[in-house]
Amino acid sequence: MQLMRPSRRHFLVLSGMGLVLAGCSTTSVLAPTPTPGASDQTAAALPAVNKLRQSRGLAALTLDAPARKAAAVQAVRMAKAGEMKHLIGFGDDFGNRMKKSDVQLPVAENIASGQSSVDAAVTAWINSPKHLTNMLGPYKGLGVAMARAGDGRSYWAMVLSG
């Protein structure tokens, strides 16, 4: 899911429609408040994502506390629901979810499920054209988290922030 900096009206319309899925405060690099049930994988994912971006002549991303929090929240939501979806439940709203975590625009979210490691999740996103486009977008910050469902299945979320 990707959200660029549109007009306020455009943002509200897109948020209300649930946005098109793909597969403010200052940015902080401090660790986010831990989200119960989530494992912060940002530091482990960052080198691979930055290597990819640098191979394309793009600036490196940094650890971003709001993006890390948003990724953790989404990973836990998917694990609890047992579903890999950006929007879970009636009335779910990507824009509001990012705003609650204080994620700075523009913002994009990649999700995955079933990978056994952060490297496998990042590789899956690289091998998916829409997820790859997100990772090569105009972002500055990164958050990656994993949560496990009751059956042990892994749910991954990556949030890229402005």
Which pLDDT score, from 0 to 100, does residue 127 have? 97
The answer to the question of residue 1 being in a domain is: no
The answer to the question of residue 26 being in a domain is: no
Q: What is the count of structural domains for the chain?
A: 1
The answer to the question of residue 35 being in a domain is: no
Q: How many residues does the chain have?
A: 162
Which pLDDT score, from 0 to 100, does residue 96 have? 84
Q: What is 75-107 written as a DSSP string? A: HHHHHHHT---SS-STT--HHHHHHHTTPPSSE
Asked if residues 70 and 143 have their Cβ atoms less than 8 Å apart, the reply is yes
The answer to the question of residue 15 being in a domain is: no
Q: 55: domain CATH number?
A: 3.40.33.10
Q: What is the C-alpha to C-alpha distance for residues 131 and 55, in angstroms, rounded to an integer?
A: 17
Range of the domain at 51: 41-161
Whether 121 has a pLDDT exceeding 90, the answer reads yes
The answer to the question of residue 132 being in a domain is: yes
Between residues 128 and 12, the one the model is more confident about: 128
Mean pLDDT of the chain: 82
The amino acid that residue 91 corresponds to is G
pTM exceeds 0.95: no
